[in-house]
Structure 1
Amino acid sequence: MTSDRERFLQDRCAQAVAQHTEKLLELSHRIHAEPELAFAEHRSMAAVAAAVGAHGFEVTTGVGGLDTAMTASSGGGELVVALCAEYDALPEIGHACGHNIIAAASVGAALALQPVADELGITIRLIGTPAEEIGGGKVLLLERGVFDGVAMAMMVHPSPYEICEPRSRAIADLEVHYRGRESHAAAAPELGVNAADALTVAQVAIGLARQHLEPGQQVHGIVTHGGAAPNIVPAHTSAMFNLRAAEMESLRRLEHRIRCCLEAGAVATGATMETSTVSPDYAELRADSRLVAAYREAIVRLGRVPAGRDEETSRIIGSTDMGNVTQSIPGIHPAIAIECGDAVPHQPDFAAACNTDSADRAVLDGATAMAWTVVSAVTNEGLRAELLAGATRRLATSGKPAATGGAA
């Protein structure tokens, strides 16, 4: 049951969101209007940094060795709360995953918590996390210490559905390059080694393997280079595949099977093969049930109707590098609904829906709900103690000195 103190602090957070409404919506619209791809989100990062820097947050850019990653910190409490601001876009279709909403909502939650940070005994750490769509920005920042000392982490993601505890799949990517030998496709085809045939054999093998994939496993890909001209036997072809599975162990088994399919193309044609990865592997989401419960209560109080548990279990939101964060740190990644008709993420119509009045409401409600979730968690003495103990234990395991808050 919500205590009077908790409700009072939450009301102050809501007032702060209301105070900053114009700034937050302007930020969302600005990022939406200037989509930038992974690791090139310079304008978006600068806009996020400016939005909180103007209110006294200590901003550090280029964290974790990534030019477009940043942190912004406020408060000096021992319990560090991370709010993740994504801002990368998709090729050709822009912000069709709504990262403009994610960034603005996390900025809003940071500004909402700032007036009550000292009373709550927290440090707010807004983390600008580039390259979620490809590149694994959060995975790199996690490995490089930007999340060190964090007791809990959160973000909200726009969706056609209101889901407090969505499921995601683990994902790996594989880029394959086949190299053969050019020749005249009509006059001397017998002298060529056809790299396009190697890729075709691999695709056929993958297609046949799909019948035998484990539940939750998926493979999808594109040809990124298929040859230069039809009268030249292709000497170089490339493709990229996404491999998804319910969890990491299943993903490893799937990766072995798909690598065998790729090798079949090389063996069948005599081409040579090289594989590489573009992103680190993304783990599946593992949301903290206590934070989910607090978020669910907050979103209901705001007048939203979250999906039931059965629907939550059945809906998969894709994959996210926030999964790696929640595997290491108590966290949540709820889906907040926007009005988008029949559109779903990664469609142009969803990009358009992410710059509407409904999207604006998601920014403000998402900011408020995250702030209220933090208040609920840290005013619960038992949960607070567990969160602090976990952060201390993780630091001790990493061999790094304990943090006392402040900038990353």
Structure 2
Amino acid sequence: MALGVDSARTETVVSAAAGDLIALSHSIHAEPELAFTEYKSAAKIVELLAQHGFEIESGIAGMATAFTATYGSGDLVVALCAEYDALPEIGHACGHNIIAASAVGAAVALAAVADEVGITVTVVGTPAEESGGGKVILLEAGVFDTAAMALMVHPGPFDIVGASSLALADIAVEFTGRAAHASAAPEYGRNAADAITVAQVGLGLLRQHLAPGQQLHGIVSAGGTAPNIVPAHTELLYYLRATSAAALVELQERAYACFAAGALATGCTHTIRTVSPTYTELTPDRELAQAYREVIVAMGRDPIAPELEGSRPLGSTDMGNVTNVLPGIHPVIGIDSEGSVTHQPAFAAASVNASADRAVLDGAVALARTTIEMVTDPVQRARLLDLQARRTKIGSSR
């Protein structure tokens, strides 16, 4: 290391804070909160960071549960992303409690060497990852403008360094028909539930002709009120996914034609609205990912081989939007989930077991060590600062 900083100190700092970090993970897990309502979770994170001398700014970008916590005054700003929203009914089945606690641990570890390595450490509290696109809102508000890189870890059944994800469009489709008595005067009705049926048949047939990586799946969120009333108002909630933003646009065009067909065939009208900001695919920074791989291998973890990383995308995440703007990584840190996968109740239970607690501490150390490796390498530090300066110049010229 060019600056002679002993990155092993990060493990000492994390070990000293281990009790607090694991308690934070378990506390967030015990009180799951949905998108944009993570008041208790955000407060718990902020409280612990404040105890370690971080300056807190809450309620940023118009979101009550978003925050930044900053330490140091170096010219290179490191953003550590903390997620803490849960899923409806099944709680923290995506392990966001682990994400939050590991980000705090990494921040505390980096704060101990911030002056030596010339960095400013910022924990960015990012609400509404599961639905709502908190990071997209933060990006558009300029919260990441000064950051030279952004890092986080996400739990999963095994370690993946260069994790991939799919671009995502989160939409609602409303059909409007005409109510009538379903027995006495059905000819006066225009059945909005039938419009859904036609649309979903079209979508089902479309699946045969989708490009690899394109997906669509959804639910009927409103389907009528009573069997003897022709439904006048119905709604679909759908996710459209693809391997890239460009492929997503193509999928949207074809899926939207199916929705329009449902309306046309039944004499109804329809509207499509965006529920959450569009997520783009993850684009991990190669140098950051390589540094992280070397760190976790040295720690005794066994990530899957690079050539297998893209074989199964990990759903979608608004961290993809961040990594398409600035250097970043979103690796998966493995826990013993006993065969379960994310978004299953069993994974929620696994997110506070002994392996999950280890993931909190290992994730914190790995993020901190990766950061130190990057910022103390003169070539990488110059690259990161140059990329950040270019983004600032582009932004100021608009």
1:66-107 CA distances to partner (integer Å, 9 max, x unpaired)?
Answer: 111000000000000000000000011100000000000000
- 3-state DSSP class of the match of 2:77? strand
Question: Which residue matches 1:5?
Answer: 4
- Of 24, 27, 30 in structure 2, the residue corresponding to residue 27 of structure 1 is 24
Q: Percent identity?
A: 57
1:256-303 CA distances to partner (integer Å, 9 max, x unpaired)?
Answer: 111110000110011111110111111101101111111011111111
Question: Which residue matches 1:313?
Answer: 310
CA distance in 2 between partners of 1:353 and 1:277 (Å): 33
Question: Which residue matches 1:167?
Answer: 164
Question: Which residue matches 2:115?
Answer: 118
Distance of aligned partners of 1:3 and 1:150 in 2 relative to their CA distance in 1, 3 Å threshold:
closer
Question: Which residue matches 1:379?
Answer: 376
Determine whether 1:51 maps to 2:34: no
Determine whether 1:75 maps to 2:55: no
Question: Which residue matches 1:406?
Answer: none
CA distance in 2 between partners of 1:170 and 1:63 (Å): 25
Determine whether 1:340 maps to 2:334: no
Deviation at 1:310, TM superposition (A): 2.4
- 3-state DSSP class of the match of 1:369? helix
Q: TM-score w.r.t. structure 2 length? A: 0.98
Matches for 1:379-398 after TM superposition, within 5 Å:
379-398=376-395
CA distance in 1 between partners of 2:26 and 2:78 (Å): 26
1:116-140 CA distances to partner (integer Å, 9 max, x unpaired)?
Answer: 0000000001000000001100011
Deviation at 1:4, TM superposition (A): 8.7
Determine whether 1:63 maps to 2:60: yes
Deviation at 1:42, TM superposition (A): 0.5
CA distance in 1 between partners of 2:379 and 2:345 (Å): 45
Question: Which residue matches 2:323?
Answer: 326
Deviation at 1:154, TM superposition (A): 0.5
1:124-165 CA distances to partner (integer Å, 9 max, x unpaired)?
Answer: 010000000011000110010111110000000000011011
- Of 227, 243, 260 in structure 2, the residue corresponding to residue 263 of structure 1 is 260
- Structure 1 segments unaligned to the other structure (5+ residues): 402-408
Question: Which residue matches 2:211?
Answer: 214
Question: Which residue matches 2:222?
Answer: 225
Deviation at 1:313, TM superposition (A): 2.3
Matches for 1:95-106 after TM superposition, within 5 Å:
95-106=92-103
Question: Which residue matches 2:281?
Answer: 284
1:222-245 CA distances to partner (integer Å, 9 max, x unpaired)?
Answer: 010111111111111001110000
CA distance in 1 between partners of 2:55 and 2:124 (Å): 12
Deviation at 1:3, TM superposition (A): 6.7
Structure 2 counterpart of 1:337, one-letter code: G
Structure 2 counterpart of 1:5, one-letter code: G
Determine whether 1:183 maps to 2:180: yes
Deviation at 1:400, TM superposition (A): 8.0
CA distance in 2 between partners of 1:365 and 1:238 (Å): 44
Determine whether 1:136 maps to 2:133: yes
Deviation at 1:328, TM superposition (A): 0.5
CA distance in 1 between partners of 2:146 and 2:285 (Å): 17
CA distance in 2 between partners of 1:43 and 1:313 (Å): 36
CA distance in 1 between partners of 2:148 and 2:254 (Å): 38
Query: How large is the RMSD of aligned CA atoms in angstroms?
Result: 1.2
Q: TM-score w.r.t. structure 1 length? A: 0.96
Question: Which residue matches 1:405?
Answer: none
Question: Which residue matches 1:87?
Answer: 84
Question: Which residue matches 1:109?
Answer: 106
Determine whether 1:40 maps to 2:66: no
1:189-230 CA distances to partner (integer Å, 9 max, x unpaired)?
Answer: 111110000011100000000111111100000010111111
Determine whether 1:301 maps to 2:308: no
Deviation at 1:65, TM superposition (A): 1.1
State whether residues 2 and 377 of structure 2, in contact with CA within 8 Å, keep that contact through their aligned partners in structure 1.
no
Farther off after superposition, 307-316 or 165-174: 307-316
